[in-house]
Structure formats: structure tokens, C-alpha cells
Amino acid sequence: MEELKKKIREVPDFPKPGILFYDLTTLLKDKDGLRSVIDILTEKYKGLGIEKVVGIESRGFIVGPGVAYNLGAGFVPVRKKGKLPAEKITVTYDLEYGQDVLEMHKDAIEPGQRVLIVDDLIATGGTAAATVRMVRQLNGEVTGLAFIVELEFLNGREKLDGYEVFSILRY
Ligand code: AMP
């Protein structure tokens, strides 16, 4: 795990002063790094009957499809407002300052389907919790939530109480 951490570039004061940004592009461009994160997530969730992997825009789109492919599941994108063309559901959630909106196609998940939610990083957990709300609204069953990086000091898990949350690397 320390080897994987070394592949992540830490950029101070991005996108604004005081934020330490975990830049995963340096991990993902590394063939062993990319393989490791997809293999770890595949091992963790194989055999659990996952039917849909839901990836959160935009960095959930990078790892999600690889894991879905390995699990024999479909891939569903959660997108920012105004990007999806067909009938959709919408969720509004609070940011540090203001609010944001995420959307998912209404026919993306069938009732009772087992869903794995994937993103690159969990910080406050707001984005992941909003995604859980949409999956629940479509009567999907959230089998788990998986992240490459978890910023534990922000207590994002508390917003996902009752759900199985997994992260590969913790800070
Ligand atoms: P949150 O809703 O607070 O859990 O924020 C999660 C989203 O913001 C994820 O999609 C991350 O990609 C991004 N994010 C938040 N904080 C950071 C950070 N320090 N470094 C990199 N990405 C971050």
C-alpha cells in the first residue's frame, strides 16, 4: 500500500489555498498502479452478485468500467447537471459553499439490482451520499461503496452510515 501511495502526487493549495489535492493521474498512468487498484476492487467485490457499477463524474469513470468489466456487471455514469439526454432523476446536495446537482438516467438501474458505487476519493462523503440517494430512489440495492483514497479526518463515512464502505488507501 505504501508503494501505491508513493504513486499519488500530492499538490498543495489546489484548487484553492489550504486544500491538499491528491492527484491520482500519476497512479493511473502507471501500468502497475492501474492494474493494482482495479485488481484490488475486483477481488473485494467478486462473487457478490454485483449487477451495476455506478461511477461518479468524472474520476469515477476511470476506474468504474474496469471493475464492472471484471465483475461481469454493467456500468452506469452519475453525471453533473444537464449532461444526460434521456429521462433522469436528480439530487441536490450541499457543498462547503452552496449546492451541487447530480443526475442519473431513470432506466439505469432496475428494482432490486445489486449496485457498487465507485469514485476515486471520498472526502466529506457528500457526493457519495447523494449518489446513494439516487440508487435508492430507483430501488437499487447498494451492496457497497468503494474508493481508491479516503480522507479519514473528514469523516465521510458518517454520511454513509449503514452502508459498506471500502477504501484502498487512507490518509
Ligand atoms: P466529497 O463529496 O467531499 O466526498 O468529495 C468527493 C469528490 O471531490 C471526489 O469526487 C473527489 O474526486 C473530489 N475531491 C475532494 N477533495 C479532494 C482532494 N483533497 N483531492 C482530490 N480530490 C478531491
- Give residue-wise pLDDT tens across range 144-159: 999 999 999 999 999 9
Cα(81)–Cα(91) distance, integer angstroms: 9
pLDDT confidence of residue 97:
77
Domains contained in the chain, CATH given: 41-170 (3.40.50.2020)
pLDDT confidence of residue 5:
98
pLDDT confidence of residue 95:
84
pLDDT confidence of residue 8:
98
Mean pLDDT computed over 77-98: 94
pLDDT confidence of residue 28:
98
**For the chain, what is the mean pLDDT?**
97
Mean pLDDT computed over 21-33: 98
Q: If you take atom 9 of ligand 1, which residue's CA is the nearest one?
A: 121
Cα(105)–Cα(89) distance, integer angstroms: 6
Residue 103's DSSP bridge partners are: 79, 90
Distance from the alpha carbon of residue 3 to the mean position of ligand 1, in angstroms:
22
Cα(122)–Cα(161) distance, integer angstroms: 14
Q: If you take atom 18 of ligand 1, which residue's CA is the nearest one?
A: 21
Mean pLDDT computed over 70-96: 96
Q: If you take atom 13 of ligand 1, which residue's CA is the nearest one?
A: 121
User: Tens of pLDDT along 107-139?
Assistant: 999 999 999 999 999 999 999 999 999 999 999
Residue 96 has pLDDT above 90, yes or no: no
User: Tens of pLDDT along 47-71?
Assistant: 999 999 999 999 999 999 999 999 9
Q: Which of 102, 127, 159 has most ligand 1 atoms within 8 Å of CB, for mutation?
A: 127
Residue 106 has pLDDT above 90, yes or no: yes
Catalytic residues: 59, 96
**Ligand 1 atom showing the smallest separation from residue 126 Cα:** 2
pLDDT confidence of residue 132:
98
Query: Is the four-CA dihedral 102, 104, 106, 109 of positive or negative sign?
Result: negative
Q: Where does residue 82 fall: left (phi above 0), alpha (psi -120 to 50 degrees), or beta otherwise?
A: left
